[in-house]
Structure 1
Amino acid sequence: MSLITTESGKKVYLTPEGRKLITVIPGDGIGPECVEATLKVLEAAKAPLEYEVREAGAAVFRRGLESGVPPETIESVRKTRVVLKGPLETPVGYGEKSANVTLRKLFETYANVRPVREFPNVPTPYSGRGIDLVVVRENVEDLYAAIEHMQTPGVAQTLKLISRKGAEKIIRFAFELARSEGRKKVHCATKSNIMKLTEGTMKRVFEEVAREYPDLEAHHIIVDNAAHQLVKRPEQFEVIVTTNLNGDILSDLTSGLIGGLGFAPSANIGHEVAIFEAVHGSAPKYAGKNVINPTAVLLSAVMMLRYLEEFATADLIENAVLYTLEEGKVLTGDVVGYDRGAKTTEYAEAIVANLGQRPRTAKVRDYRPIRLPPSSPDPVAVRPKSRRVVGVDVFVESELHPEPLGHLLEELVQGLPFRLKMVSNRGTQVYPPTGGLVDLVDHYRCRFLYGKEGEPSDREVLDLVGRVASRLRWMHLEKLQEFDGEPGFTKAQGEN
C-alpha cells in the first residue's frame, strides 16, 4: 500500500489493486443504518474503495475514554487520510468533548463544506426556486476554540479567536470550490459591523483575496442580512464563506430550505485529512427501526468520491438518487410521513436499481478537482512595520458602584505613569459617567493609558497590577497595542 498526493494536493492511500483505502466509522444511533445503506450503494456502483471500519462515539465514552476517539481509530485516519462517518452521539454526564469536534480538530479539517440544493418530490415552501448553494464554514477557530473562563462567579468569558492565517485558508478554499463547481459568485458573511477586529479580519482578508479571482463575483454581506436574504431570496446565493459560529447557524438554516437535515451532506476538509458526514445527529429515537432517510450520508459519500477524484462514480450515484426522488415511487418517512414511508433498506435498494438512470429535470453539476490552497505547518506571524503598547486593560471583580470604583482606582495609581481612561461594565463605559442607565454586574474592565514617551515596561505593568491587587480582586490583563499606528483594541460603548 502507498500514500500518494494527487495533482490537486490531496493525500490518497492506494491498495496494491489500485483501490482507495478509507476509514469508515458507522457512528451511533441511526448512524450504522445510514452507513450500511451507503456502503451498499457504493459497492453496487463499483466504487474503487476499500474500507477499514473503526469506532468512535458513545461506546468509546462508556469505556471511559474521555475523547470518544480510541487510538486505533486515530491511527487508521492518519493512514487513510479519508473518513466516511455516521453521526456520533455526545453523551450527557460522561465524556469530556464532542468526538465529532475532536476528530475535526485533531486533523485540522479547517473547511466545513455544506451544500444544499432543491430535490425533486421533496416539497418545501421554496420548491421551484432552484436553490443550489454551498456554505463554506471555517471549522477550527472562532468561539469553537472553546477557550472559556468563569471570570467571576456570575460572569463567563469565551475567547473569539480569528487569525489571518485561518481566514485566508478558508476564503481561498471557498473561491477554489466555486471554480471547481463552475459557480460564479462568492459571498462572505460576517458581523464585522460590531466585531471590527475579529469578524473584521475575515472581511478584510476576503476583500484582499477576492482580487486574485477576477473571474468570480465577490460580495460581502452582514451575517444577519444573509440570514434574512436566505429566507427571502435564497436562489441569489451560490457560495457563502463565513466564520465558525455563523456557518453552523446558516448551514442549518439552509438545510431547512430544501427539506431538512435528512438531505444535508457535509465534508470537513484539511490539507492532510478529509472527513465526510451528514449534518444531522444520531437521532436515537429512530435507531434500529429501519425508517431513517440515508440520503445525507449517501450524498456525503458522493462528496467523498469527488474529493478522491472518482467523478464518474459520484455522478452515477447522484443521478440515481435524483432519479429515485423524481420517480417518487420510493420516498422515506421524513418526506411522506413515517406511517407510509419506505424503509431505509428499500430506499437504498431503489437507488441501486436506478444506477445508470438520469433524472429528467434535476441536473448534476460538472465538477473539476478542487485545488487545495497552499498552507505551511509552521506558525505564521504577521509583522507590522511598527508596534507599541499604549496601555493596559485590567479586569476586576468588584461589588462597588462605578463612581467609587473609579475614584479608588485613580487613588491606587497615583505616582505611576498611568492614568485611568475609563471603566466599563459588559462593554459599556460607566466611569467617568456618560449619563446612561446601565444594569451592573460585578465584572469591570479598567482601562489605563501610559503617560510617558515610548511604551511601558513589563515591570511598570506589574507594578500597576500590584497596586490594583492591593485592594481589588483582578482576573485578567490585556495589553493595549497599536500596529502601524492603528489601535489593536476597540473602545467601550460610550467611550470617546
Structure 2
Amino acid sequence: MSDTQIFKIASIPGDGIGTEITEAAIQVLDKLASVDGSFKFDYTHFDWSSKAYLERGWYMPPDGMEQLQKHDAIYFGAVGWPDVPDHISLWSLILPIRKNMNQYVNVRPTRILPGTKSPLSACEANPDTLDWIIIRENSEGEYAGQGGTTHENSPHTIATELAIFSRVGIERIMRFAFETARSRERKKLTMVTKSNAQRHGMVLWDKVFYEVAEDYPDVTWDKMLVDAMTVRMVNNPASMDTIVATNLHADILSDLAAALSGSIGIAPSSNLDPTRKHP
C-alpha cells in the first residue's frame, strides 16, 4: 500500500500569459513531487477563459464553485483580455472565487531571486536587502463591490464605489499579519493606512490594528501612510519585513514590490482561507 499523498489541484490557466505560466508551473510542481517522493498532484483543467466567454457567454458554469470545492487547491494563471471589459472578467471569475472560497488573505512574498536584478542600487551588493512579505486584506475594503450608478447615459451620471471595513474582517487579517511577522526572524510588521484622509473605514482599520498589537508584544511594528510607503519601499527597502495593507493599497504596493525585485512576471501570490475549509 502506497503512503503517497495525492493533492487535487484545480488548474485555471485563464488568459494570455496565464496559459504559459500554468504550463511551466505544473512542470515545477511535478518535479518537486518527484524529488520529494511523498506526494503527487492530480490536476483537473478548467477552460474558464475570456476566449471561452466570448464564444459561449460565461466564464464559470452555475456549479463552478461546487467543482472547485472538490479540490485541495486552485492554480490560477491570469484573467483579462482586450475584447472583454476588465470589470466583467474579474467579477465573473477571480473575485467570485476569492469571496465564495473565503480567501480573505492574499500573501505576496517579495525577494530578489537568482537570475533577476533589482533596479534598486541598494540591492546590487546585497540582494537580501529586499525580503518582504506583503499581507493583503482580500475580501472587503475597496473591492467589496458595493455601490452603484444612477442617471446613466446623461451628463449627470453618478457612480459610487463604497469601501467596506468590518471589525471582523480587519481583526482577522491583522492577526494573520502579526502571526506571519512573529514567524519571521526580524519579527517586524509595517501597517499601511490612509487614515489622515479617509476618516471612517481607515480609522477603524488603525484602531483594530492597535488593539491586536497588544497581543503581540514580541513583534515590533510601525505605521505608514500609503503614499509615503511607496517612497520608503524605494529608498529604504531594508527597513521593512512584513507589511499589511488594505485590498487596494496592497494590490498596488505588491506590484511595485515585484518590479523592485526585478520582475513582475515571476512574482508569486497566494489567496488563502486560513481555516482550510475551502481550497
With normalisation by structure 1, the TM-score equals 0.49
Range 209-218 or range 146-155, more displaced: 146-155
Structure 1: how far apart are the matches of 2:86 and 2:135? Answer: 31
**Aligned residue pair count:** 259
Looking at both structures, which has the greater relative contact order when contacts are Cα pairs under 8 Å and sequence separation is at least 6?
2
Checking the alignment, whether the CA contact within 8 Å between 1:54 and 1:72 is kept in structure 2 is no
Is 1:122–2:109 an aligned residue pair?
A: no
Runs of 4 or more, structure 1, over 6 Å off, are none
SS of structure 2 residue aligned to 1:80: coil
Q: Which moved more, 1:157-166 or 1:25-34?
A: 25-34
The amino acid that maps onto 1:53 is: H
Question: Which aligned pairs between 1:212-251 and structure 2 lie closer than 5 A?
Answer: 212-251=215-254
SS in 2 for 1:204: helix
Instruction: Indicate conservation of the 8 Å contact 2:136/2:247, yes or no.
Output: yes
Instruction: Give, as a single letter, the amino acid of the residue that structure 2 aligns with 1:157.
Output: T
How far is the alpha carbon of 1:148 from its aligned partner?
Answer: 2.6
2:67 matched to 1:76?
yes
Matches within 5 A, 1:78-93: 78-90=69-81, 91-92=83-84
CA–CA distance in 2 between the matches of 1:253 and 1:93?
A: 24
Contact 2:108/2:134 (<8 A) preserved: yes
TM-superposed CA distance for 1:170, in Å, is 0.8
Q: For residue 84 of structure 2, what is the amino acid of its counterpart?
A: V
Displacement of 1:97: 4.4
* Equivalence map 1:17-32=2 (5 Å): 18-32=5-19
Show CA shifts across 1:28-49 (max 9, x none): 2222222122212222222532
Which structure 2 residues correspond to residues 124-203 of structure 1 after superposition, within 5 A?
A: 124-126=118-120, 127=124, 128-129=126-127, 130-151=129-150, 153-203=156-206
Does the aligned pair in 1 maintain the 2:79–2:89 contact within 8 Å? no
* Inter-CA distance 64–95: structure 2 relative to 1 (3 Å threshold): farther
The one-letter code of the counterpart of 2:252 is I
Which secondary structure state, in structure 2, belongs to the residue aligned with residue 119 of structure 1? coil
Question: Who is 1:471 aligned against?
Answer: none
> Cα–Cα, structure 1 residues 95 and 162, in superposed 2: closer, same or farther, change >3 Å?
closer
**Alignment pair present for 1:62 and 2:49:** no
Question: After superposition, where does 1:473-492 map in structure 2 within 5 Å?
Answer: none
- CA offsets, 1:31-70, max 9 Å, x none? 222212221222222253222222322134224444x222
Residue 165 of structure 1 aligns with an amino acid whose one-letter code is: V
Q: Pairwise mapping of residues 6-45 of structure 1 onto structure 2 (< 5 A)?
A: 18-45=5-32
Q: Could you tell me which residue of structure 2 aligns to residue 273 of structure 1?
A: 278
Q: What SS class does the counterpart of residue 160 from structure 1 fall into?
A: strand
SS at match of 2:217: coil
Larger of the two Rg values belongs to structure: 1
C-alpha separation in 2, matches of 1:188 and 1:41: 34
Q: CA deviation at 1:151?
A: 4.9
Higher helix share: 2
* Residues 68-467 of structure 1 mapped to structure 2, 5 A cutoff: 68-71=59-62, 73-90=64-81, 91-92=83-84, 96-98=88-90, 99-126=93-120, 127=124, 128-129=126-127, 130-151=129-150, 153-270=156-273, 271=275, 272-274=277-279
- CA–CA distance in structure 1, aligned partners of residues 21 and 190 of structure 2: 32
- The code of the aligned residue for 2:188 comes to K
Q: Is the 8 A contact 1:113 1:137 kept in 2?
A: yes
Q: Which amino acid aligns with 2:28?
A: V
Report the residue type matching 2:189 in the other structure. V
* Percent identity of equivalent pairs: 34
Q: Is the contact made by 1:138 and 1:243 (CA closer than 8 Å) also made in structure 2?
A: yes
| Cα 1:18–1:204 shift into 2, 3 Å | same
Describe the shift of the 1:183–1:61 C-alpha distance in structure 2 as closer, same or farther (beyond 3 A).
farther
Query: Is there any run of 5+ residues in structure 1 with no aligned partner, and where?
Result: 1-14, 275-496
Deviations 1:72-107 (A, max 9, x none): 542232111411121122542598341222221221
**What letter matches 1:76 in structure 2?**
Q
